[in-house]
Amino acid sequence: MALYARIIIMFLIGLQIDFPYLMRNIRVAGVIACGSSLTCTIFAIVVTSFIYQEMGGHGSAFTMGLILVVILSNTASPYVIRFAHDLRFASTDVGRLAISSSLISDSYAVVLLIILQRHNQKYDFANWFVVGLLYLFIVVAVIYVNKYIANWLNRRNRNQKYLKNTEIFILLAILFVAATSVETMGFSSIIVCFLIGALFPRGGKTGRTLLIKLSYVVHNFILPMYFGYSGFKADVTLINSFRNFIVVALVLLLCIGGKVTGTLAACFYLKIPLNEGVLLSFLMNLKGHIDLLALTVGVESKVTSSQIFYNLMMAVVLINSLIWGPVIAFMVRRESDILGYKHIALEFQYPESELKLLACVHGPRPVATMIGLVAACKGPVNVAITPYLMHLIELPEKTKTNLLYHQKEEDELSDDDNYGGNDVVEINEAVDIFAVETGVIIHQVKIVSPFASMFADVCEFAEITRASIIILPFHKHQRIDGKLESGKEGIRTTNQKVLRHAKCSVAILVDRGLTAGTMHTSDSGSLQHIAMLFFGGPDDREALGLSKRLGMHHHINLTVIRFLHASEQKESLKANTAQGEEDVLMAISDHDPDNEADNIALTDFFNRFVTSGQVGYIEKLVENGGETASALRDMADMYAMFIVGKRSRGHSTLTTGMSDWEECPELGKVGDFLASSDFDLSGSVLVIQQHRHSRPGDDDQ
């Protein structure tokens, strides 16, 4: 049963691991893992002869040395992953780096475990080589078979939300056959199961079903039973003599000292801050996985005349776990400033940096446009993006209590509930098609909640995932005749509350349907024309920050349109460029901090994107809101999408009078004008609000 538990645990870890992040940061994670593991290896080699004599060993000293190396150098990746998720820092850079480093450290321990097993079986080199080739063949064959079966299951019965239990059983049977075959050959199946899970096709209902089904079973039953069983095997009553106490204390100190010293040295080399390095070193101390297997091998090979060595080392693992669990929990809470939600506005992010965004939908209607926008935000092919799609479903108050259903949603007790109806199937299919076409995996989440508290679920999830921006659907949708029709008032209320309470930037998408599904067509040579309207202020600068990413996309033709008052012509970028300045430096007419920030942001944008020809730039000189409205009407049919900030700088004369018939204050003056039924616009509108700690005058939200 322990073997079967390990198979399922490592397969699920492979399914859940952020493999692209691991590949992007393999050097950093590898240096940390090597630093901690190699230091512990040296300590183990030094102390082996002493412990061998104290334990009265009569077997191979080399075998005992290998066991000690595994015990000291191993980091239990299941423990690290569980801690990171339970303490809610798995999506931080420190959390993801700790998980990646622990997996590499685990792999090092598994390699040592394989050497330990093969050494005891006395195989010659020829047998090693043949069995090793067979091992690789099984791994590669299962990976390709899983890929073929998963793709076939995804195409089969498209109207199903999830796989049937019989289909899941077939996939798990393949996994168990491969793992037990490897174990029969004398190798550990841990790496095999992890690789099969990590390289399993993520897109489609096959991967989605396995994640949902296995997560609940593993986290609530298998993991507690597996580690509980391991703990019961430890007999701490044997620490009843000074000699045994010295052995346990020495190994425990070497475990702690080796991991802390090696990890901190690696972090110093990588220039990682000390407080993050200390937390990483503590997380790398978690044990209770591979080391248990190594001890079992040691007993079978009869390293000692009794089980004293086995029981003492089990006590070391148990005491180590008891120490570091509370210590890590305390430190995570104490270091909430580095592990907490630190929002960096898009205005200050490099467009090549990883983007985390949360897109929300209430039904399948805006999904295509929302997914297209996700693809556009990715920018170049080599830029990382971590998108989440949250399906928001209204929970009628009279049906179930909020708390009761949320427990069901988190644990996925049943897939047979009808919440979301056929909408779930349509959304899943759109996401799966997108994953096939672009290779970008969108993580799906379903939240069922009353409208009164739905905003809290959105804000909390954005905080957990460290999202840079939340994209919400407008409460109106387009009819066949092109007019916008109001939906549920609860959707609008949710948008207003998210705008007020979110700790990151928030965007509202007014979907007019014409951009649906056209932004992510990788084979199409057509361009999407998008306009970014810049009036000034922090929200417009945030919109400009997002536009940088869109402008780098090879299927998007972005034009930044800056609106200037006729009296501000001296701030014109074009005028300054025409004067022959080597770097565009804009004249600052006053000491308004917002005005200065606008000038700096636009100058940087102009120098990098406009002068290189990646992005178009237009300046519109207007006197008042009437001329601004007229200019917007003139370009109504020219662009597939308009991007604008929610609030322009101060009380700008550029928008004076545009809010006289304001219908949706949550869109701002310009956004409300573009989304109004009286404005004949064919393109979608994206209104962005930058997160600010205090926003006086936001009572309209």
- How many percent of the chain have pLDDT more than 70? 83
Q: Is the domain of 442 the same as that of 315?
A: no
Report residue 391: phi and psi, to 5°. Answer: -90, 110
Per-position DSSP letters for 600-653, written without gaps between them: HHHHHHIIIIITTTSSEEEEEEESSHHHHHHHHHHTTTT-SEEEEESS-SSS-G
The C-alpha atoms of residue 360 and residue 366 are separated, in whole angstroms, by: 9
Residue 469, in any domain of the structure: yes
E-assigned strand segments in 157-254: none
- φ/ψ region of 686 (left if φ > 0, alpha if ψ in -120 to 50, else beta) reads beta
Q: Which of 208, 94, 158, 151 is nearest to 441 (CA)?
A: 208
625-664 pLDDT, tens digit per residue, is 888 888 888 888 888 899 999 876 655 677 776 666 678 8
Query: What's the predicted TM-score (pTM) here?
Result: 0.85
568 versus 46: the higher-pLDDT residue is 46
Quote the tokens at residue 40.
Answer: 């512990």
Q: Which of 332, 343, 282 is nearest to 98 (CA)?
A: 282
Q: 142-156, 286-300, 435-449 — which is least confidently predicted?
A: 286-300
- pLDDT of 571 > 90? The answer is no
Kind and range of the H or E run holding 43 = helix 26-54
Confidence of residue 159 (pLDDT cuts 50, 70, 90): confident
Q: Is the domain of 606 the same as that of 528?
A: yes
Quote the tokens at residue 566.
Answer: 């006729």
Residue 5, in any domain of the structure: yes
Q: Whole domain around residue 252: which residue ranges? A: 1-339
Residue 398 has, within 13 A of its CA and on its CB side, a CA count of 0
Quote the tokens at residue 536.
Answer: 């000034």
Q: Which of 339, 373, 406 is the last residue of a domain?
A: 339
Residue 233, in any domain of the structure: yes
- pLDDT of 108 > 50? The answer is yes
Q: Which residues contact 26 (CB under 8 A, 6 or more apart)?
A: 100
- pLDDT of 550 > 80? The answer is yes
Q: 304-308, 369-373, 380-384 — which is least confidently predicted?
A: 304-308
- pLDDT of 410 > 70? The answer is no
- pLDDT of 298 > 90? The answer is no
Confidence of residue 584 (pLDDT cuts 50, 70, 90): very low
Residue 623 belongs to a domain with what CATH number?
3.40.50.12370
Q: Is the domain of 371 the same as that of 277?
A: no
Q: Is the domain of 603 the same as that of 619?
A: yes
What pLDDT sits at residue 284? 92
Q: Which of 318, 339, 360 is the last residue of a domain?
A: 339
Residue 262, in any domain of the structure: yes
Amino acid letter, residue 112: L
Quote the tokens at residue 423.
Answer: 């909408």
- pLDDT of 327 > 70? The answer is yes
- How many percent of the chain have pLDDT more than 90? 28
Residue 667, in any domain of the structure: yes
Q: 266 near 34, Cβ under 8 Å?
A: yes
Q: Is the domain of 502 the same as that of 365?
A: yes
Average predicted confidence (pLDDT) for the chain: 82
- pLDDT of 145 > 90? The answer is yes
Residue 580, in any domain of the structure: no
Residue 179 belongs to a domain with what CATH number?
1.20.1530.20
Kind and range of the H or E run holding 350 = none
The C-alpha atoms of residue 195 and residue 19 are separated, in whole angstroms, by: 10
Q: How many domains does the chain have?
A: 2
Report the relative pairing of strands 505-510 and 684-689 from DSSP bridges. Answer: antiparallel
- pLDDT of 698 > 70? The answer is no
Q: Is the domain of 298 the same as that of 435?
A: no
Confidence of residue 55 (pLDDT cuts 50, 70, 90): confident
Q: Is the domain of 389 the same as that of 261?
A: no
Is residue 58 packed enough to be buried (19+ CB in 10 Å), middle (13-18) or exposed (0-12)?
Answer: exposed
Confidence of residue 580 (pLDDT cuts 50, 70, 90): very low
Q: Which residues contact 388 (CB under 8 A, 6 or more apart)?
A: 356, 357, 358, 359, 442, 443, 444, 445, 461, 465, 467
Q: Is the domain of 376 the same as that of 242?
A: no
Average pLDDT over residues 576-580: 51
Residue with the two structure tokens 């399906």: 391
- pLDDT of 260 > 90? The answer is yes
Q: Is the domain of 73 the same as that of 134?
A: yes
Q: Is the domain of 247 the same as that of 376?
A: no
- pLDDT of 426 > 80? The answer is yes
Q: Is the domain of 239 the same as that of 359?
A: no
The C-alpha atoms of residue 282 and residue 299 are separated, in whole angstroms, by: 29
Q: 102 near 77, Cβ under 8 Å?
A: yes
What pLDDT sits at residue 586? 45
- pLDDT of 408 > 50? The answer is no
Distances (CA, A) of 624 to 252, 300, 335, 643: 74, 86, 50, 20
Q: Which of 373, 379, 604, 363 is nearest to 469 (CA)?
A: 373
Per-position DSSP letters for 486-539, written without gaps between them: E--HHHHHHHHHHHHH-SSEEEEEE--STTTTTSS-SS----EEEEEEE-SSHH
Residue 467, in any domain of the structure: yes
What pLDDT sits at residue 519? 55
Confidence of residue 414 (pLDDT cuts 50, 70, 90): very low
27 versus 405: the higher-pLDDT residue is 27
Q: Is the domain of 534 the same as that of 660?
A: yes
Residue 483, in any domain of the structure: no
Angle at 26 between CA 20 and CA 31, to 5 degrees: 155
228 versus 403: the higher-pLDDT residue is 228
